[in-house]
């Protein structure tokens, strides 16, 4: 967590969850708020803005032209923004209507006071490791993407299981016979990985989890490896439909023999957070851990 | 387990796993063996027999015309035979090349001595509950099938999760947000259900397991219910591809609003087993439990 | 579930959770309420009643002299009452202060209107299977008890694991190397068994779960067996402290070679429940399953 | 893994698993072998050597006076040696009779050829993180120890659960209600942690796992944290017997209010391994993952 004072903010990129009914009123207030403070506020051309009087910039310039990005939606919206800023590394402030998410650190209720602080440079940045994924076919790259949560290789609905070979830094790990394989970042550890029996990794953990989904061999437990390793997965299954999904949002069809090369991305996804925020509080809230605090030095 | 002496066997139906290279020699020996004993041996028309001089009967008469069926293959072959004999209830002797399976109680090595015993009526029958599944759309049945292991409702490769509502005897249980839902018989409890974290049910247990696959809510643990209940599952998810699979072999596409009605079948699947066979020995072998026996009365 | 009208109630036995501060006021009101209706209300001699003017009867007559028992406390109190009424089979109405438990079907808020109904015979009885446990040493019984939730054989704090042999109906199952073994009824399936990775069994399920705690062999999954079987567990570990616990409340020290014989009890524990009560609603509440009901016939 | 050529070996400390019947012959051969090569071979005074003509040194000088230590036994023996060399950091060569363990990289069959290589400096050293544990009572340290696998805080046999509060770097994490809590190193991740549902951490992972044993709250999943953090656990439970165990071998009784302070040790435990050894091969063997290697570049 970087707690230093950040550079002041002049240019704010805006992303809104499509179809979110409560977003329109917030955007209208944001436009006023930005005009009063002489701040630039703009969207990107890929998003529909209907009749909202908001300037737009090309999607490929959106990250670099923004000092920060404000995302209205939920954790799913943040995952989409992560791909948009993968190259620029622009910090992102996530706003959720109602309750907080794992990645959205602000609610609509506290948005405007928080923004005042943020534009003055008073905020923290929580850098999250992302994973860069390349699909190779016949030795040549055919697709690539960056994931904030996870890259999942999985079977189609009819298939009972698929077979995958896995290498770490060139060493053979095992061949998994399973519904699929989740390669999760610490950020993604509380998402699909958790549902599939994997551990929680605190966000600062420099690690990935390899978590086979419903493996045939019960001792194929989740495997935690340093995020500095090279993870290679190849598709051994023949004649079955297999797919790679990026953060549950993008999908690539895979063929037998395809290799998926997974590496830590060069840049991180920077989540804007309130000062003195506590990740364990997020866990207790979202996972309903409960637990009252007793002072350690009673 | 029915350990009484069974009626003698005159007519043997034969099913062979397609593409099994070791089957041809066994079939040739079976033909000789049957001719010497004046037994009828025949296949069904759905199977390719190449140049093997074996009589065939229509698939829909195959079960009723056989005193027993001999299946050469593995547990997967037995699952297919289960659908073939769902109406007739013909006992089935499963033969696996090499090692035994959960349902195949004989190997090719002990086949002929075992058959001698079986045709004389010296064998046990282990009746397995099967589940009858009907898909209803707009209140009308559109498909039905019988499963020996399990009926699975699951998501396509790209979807992150689907949403299902579940009722038992008309009482609402919960709505599952998960990769899918396995409804498993005791026979299926050691198959996909086990990989998905479910319990093992001994075959004589009159029960089904409802096991959500990677549920979003971690307390959605597998639920064991009597096999006399009515289980209804309806598809709440919209716009996602969802499928029902029968024993991992047959698939139906499902739509939002479809209901899957699951009931115990009227007849059981009858596995021919050696006398005095011990299910726990099968578990120890297949699941590598190890464990040396110490006499209980030391 | 027995939904018929029950015999009217004249004699009410009372059990109160020791140290429960809110109980005194309720007991005082119960004494008035019973006097007004000319009902007998009494406690048992094992319980301290301080200066409360309540009659007491000997503990061993308490069950037979009560038409019903009212237990003020929580699920733990109900477990204790289960041992008290193991022989008599007296129905028990459980009252919890605040929120409902798995076994306590009434809160203090609805107690008096509910009691009016109950004394008129308008209630249901949910019979729960209990397990009878005998410890044999050198072939002779040395201890016995009845459990409503579970019998647990487990290790002491220092021991890393213990070794147990298990037989079902005289057939060797396996030898478990684990922290211990839970033998759970359907009622107990949502208690310790659930924390140890076991399945949920609906209360009407005629089954027990054998659930090894942290087994060394990962494929030693929970095993569901009919409640008609004989389960024998013997202690193979030498030199370690091992204990059997009954519903987490009573403990017996076990020695190497001891056998624990587990059988379904002859009588059930009868939980008084409101008419038309729904077990799945209890599960949704206690396990926070959430889930909105959508009518099955939309 | 440090693959450089190591300094030559002149002084060899020897530790033998007590009661291991096959050890005596190996020790006799080792004495001959060392004498022929003019190497010092000695034991430590804590161990009984019967009539074997072996020199001994005081236990507290054993580590510093040895260039390497040879341990005959299994993983349990290695855990004991880890405490013996916690201060000196002497490399340890583990020998197991029969099959390899997770920490014993040599069998008795390959011992002497391997020792020739090792004394010439041709070996690798795999440094394993250990955890230093201090128990504080009323603010004062009352006990301390170093663990190679894990520190476990757990309940006695009768207790159903204990309650623990956990802090990481002074931030409150949660209070666990569970059978206990395992704090495991990567080395320990394949031991008790695995049986308790935790993930596997490759040995080079700079992390600890906090894994509650049978937690009452099902979302209390294992938590992976960097090994640079301070982990503090305090005992909230009153009136129950609670114990801390070090590698399953040493135990301390704990009181309500005690705090257990867990930190990475300053020195590592150095396992002597053959050159080019592959951790994943160990996993495949010990966990029976199976899996044939297919070359990545087919």
CB contacts, 8 Å: B217 with chain C: 288-290
pTM of the model: 0.95
Characterize the bridge pairing of strands B223-226 and C200-201.
parallel
pLDDT surpasses 80 at B47: yes
The DSSP result for B154-205, as a single string, is: EE-SS-S-EEEEEEETTEEEEEEEESEEEEE-TGGGGTHHHHTTPPEE-TT-
Asked if residue A212 lies in contact with residue A220, where contact means CB atoms within 8 angstroms, the answer is: yes
Given the residues D75, D179, D227, D258, select the one marked as catalytic: D75
Candidate from A167, A194, A289 with C-beta closest to D296: A167
What CA–CA distance (Å, rounded) separates D161 from D177?
6
Please enumerate in sequence order all residues whose Cβ is within 8 A of that of A295, keeping only pairs 6 or more positions apart, or say none: none
What CA–CA distance (Å, rounded) separates D197 from D186?
14
CA B199 to chain centre: 17
What CA–CA distance (Å, rounded) separates C57 from C43?
6
What CA–CA distance (Å, rounded) separates A88 from A85?
5
Q: Determine the pLDDT at residue D297.
A: 39
Give the tens place of pLDDT for each residue, D38-56: 999 999 998 888 778 899 9
Given the residues A51, A60, A75, A179, select the one marked as catalytic: A75
Give the tens place of pLDDT for each residue, B110-133: 899 999 999 988 889 999 999 999
Please enumerate in sequence order all residues whose Cβ is within 8 A of that of D250, keeping only pairs 6 or more positions apart, or say none: D83, D145
Given the residues C38, C50, C60, C75, select the one marked as catalytic: C75
Q: What angle do CA A21, A57, A103 make, to 5 degrees?
A: 50
Task: Give rounded-to-5 percent helix, strand, coil for chain C.
Answer: 20, 40, 40
B172 and C207 within 8 Å at the Cβ level: the answer is no
Interface residue of C157, C176, C189, C241 to substitute, partner D, most D CBs within 10 Å? C157
CB contacts, 8 Å: D280 with chain A: 168, 171-174
| Nearest chain A CA: its distance from D17 CA (Å) | 29
Given the residues B50, B67, B75, B169, select the one marked as catalytic: B75
> Which residue has tokens 């107690």?
C111
Asked if residue C14 lies in contact with residue C42, where contact means CB atoms within 8 angstroms, the answer is: yes
B214 and A213 within 8 Å at the Cβ level: the answer is yes
> Which residue has tokens 């070679």?
C257
Instruction: Please say whether the dihedral angle defined by the alpha carbons of residues C73, C78, C79 and C81, taken in this order, is positive or negative.
Output: positive
Between C156 and C210, name the one with better pLDDT: C210
Instruction: Please say whether the dihedral angle defined by the alpha carbons of residues A28, A29, A31 and A35, taken in this order, is positive or negative.
Output: positive
Q: Is A64 helix (H, G, I), strand (E, B) or coil?
A: helix
C-alpha distance from residue D113 to each of D28, D107, D271 (Å): 16, 11, 18
CB contacts, 8 Å: D197 with chain C: 197, 214
D221 and B221 within 8 Å at the Cβ level: the answer is no
Secondary structure of B250-295 as H, E, C letters: EEEEECCCCEEEEEECCCCEEEEECCCCCHHHHHHHHCCCCCCCCC
> Which residue has tokens 């070791």?
B22
The enclosing H or E element of D171 equals strand D171-178
Please enumerate in sequence order all residues whose Cβ is within 8 A of that of D65, keeping only pairs 6 or more positions apart, or say none: D11, D13, D42, D57
Between B283 and D2, name the one with better pLDDT: B283
The enclosing H or E element of C42 equals strand C40-44
Asked if residue D200 lies in contact with residue D207, where contact means CB atoms within 8 angstroms, the answer is: no
What CA–CA distance (Å, rounded) separates C124 from C285?
21
Q: Determine the pLDDT at residue C297.
A: 39
What CA–CA distance (Å, rounded) separates D244 from D153?
4
Burial class of A200 by CB neighbour count within 10 A (0 to 12, 13 to 18, 19+): buried
Candidate from C160, C194, C197 with C-beta closest to D192: C160
Asked if residue A261 lies in contact with residue A230, where contact means CB atoms within 8 angstroms, the answer is: yes
Nearest-CA residue of chain A relative to C288? Answer: A288
pLDDT surpasses 70 at D4: no
C200 and B221 within 8 Å at the Cβ level: the answer is yes
Give the tens place of pLDDT for each residue, A245-285: 999 999 999 999 999 999 999 999 999 998 777 899 999 98
Of the candidates A25, A61, A30, A29, which has an alpha carbon nearest to the alpha carbon of residue A44?
Answer: A61
Candidate from A168, A280, A292 with C-beta closest to D171: A280
Respond yes or no: is residue D247 known to be catalytic: no
Phi (first) and psi of residue A286, to 5 degrees: -75, -35
What CA–CA distance (Å, rounded) separates A288 from A240?
39
CB contacts, 8 Å: D179 with chain C: 179, 195, 213
CB contacts, 8 Å: C218 with chain A: 218-219, 221
Average pLDDT of span B236-257: 91
Which range (A165-179, B74-88, D147-161) has the least confidence? D147-161
Give the tens place of pLDDT for each residue, A201-221: 999 999 999 999 999 999 999
* Mean pLDDT for all residues in chain C: 91
Q: What is the ipTM of this complex?
A: 0.94
A293 and D172 within 8 Å at the Cβ level: the answer is yes
Give B84's Cβ-side CA count (13 Å radius).
Answer: 30
Average pLDDT of span D181-186: 98
A278 and D219 within 8 Å at the Cβ level: the answer is no
Give the tens place of pLDDT for each residue, B150-189: 999 999 877 778 999 999 999 999 999 999 999 999 999 9
Asked if residue B116 lies in contact with residue B12, where contact means CB atoms within 8 angstroms, the answer is: no
pLDDT surpasses 90 at C8: no
Confidence of residue D295 (pLDDT cuts 50, 70, 90): very low
Between B51 and B90, name the one with better pLDDT: B90
What CA–CA distance (Å, rounded) separates A250 from B181?
24
CB contacts, 8 Å: A218 with chain C: 218-219, 221
Asked if residue D15 lies in contact with residue D43, where contact means CB atoms within 8 angstroms, the answer is: yes
């Amino acid at each position: 967590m970087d707690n230093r004072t950040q550079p002041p903010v002049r240019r704010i990129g805006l992303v809104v969850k499509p179809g979110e009914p409560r977003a329109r009123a917030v955007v209208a207030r944001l436009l006023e708020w930005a005009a009063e403070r002489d701040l630039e506020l703009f969207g990107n051309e890929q998003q529909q803005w209907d009749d909202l009087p908001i300037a737009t910039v090309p999607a490929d310039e959106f990250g670099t032209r923004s000092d920060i990005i404000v995302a209205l939606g939920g954790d799913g919206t943040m995952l989409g923004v992560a791909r948009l800023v993968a190259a620029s590394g622009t910090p992102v402030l996530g706003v959720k209507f109602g309750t907080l998410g794992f990645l959205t650190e602000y609610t609509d209720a506290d948005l405007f006071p928080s923004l005042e602080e943020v534009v003055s440079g008073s905020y923290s940045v929580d850098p999250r490791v992302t994973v860069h994924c390349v699909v190779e076919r016949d030795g040549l790259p055919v697709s690539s993407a960056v994931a904030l949560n996870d890259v999942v290789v999985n079977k189609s609905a009819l298939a009972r299981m698929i077979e995958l070979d896995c290498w770490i830094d060139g060493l053979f790990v095992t061949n998994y016979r399973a519904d699929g394989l989740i390669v999760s970042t610490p950020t993604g550890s509380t998402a699909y990985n958790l549902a599939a029996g994997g551990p929680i990794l605190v966000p600062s953990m420099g690690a990935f989890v390899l978590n086979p989904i419903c493996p045939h061999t019960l001792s194929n437990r989740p495997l935690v490896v340093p995020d500095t390793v090279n993870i290679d997965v190849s598709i051994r299954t023949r004649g079955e439909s297999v797919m790679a999904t990026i953060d549950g949002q993008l999908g690539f069809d895979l063929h037998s023999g395809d290799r998926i090369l997974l590496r830590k991305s060069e840049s991180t996804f920077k989540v804007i957070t309130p000062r003195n925020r506590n990740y364990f509080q997020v866990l207790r809230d979202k996972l309903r851990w409960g637990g009252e605090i007793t002072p350690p030095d009673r």
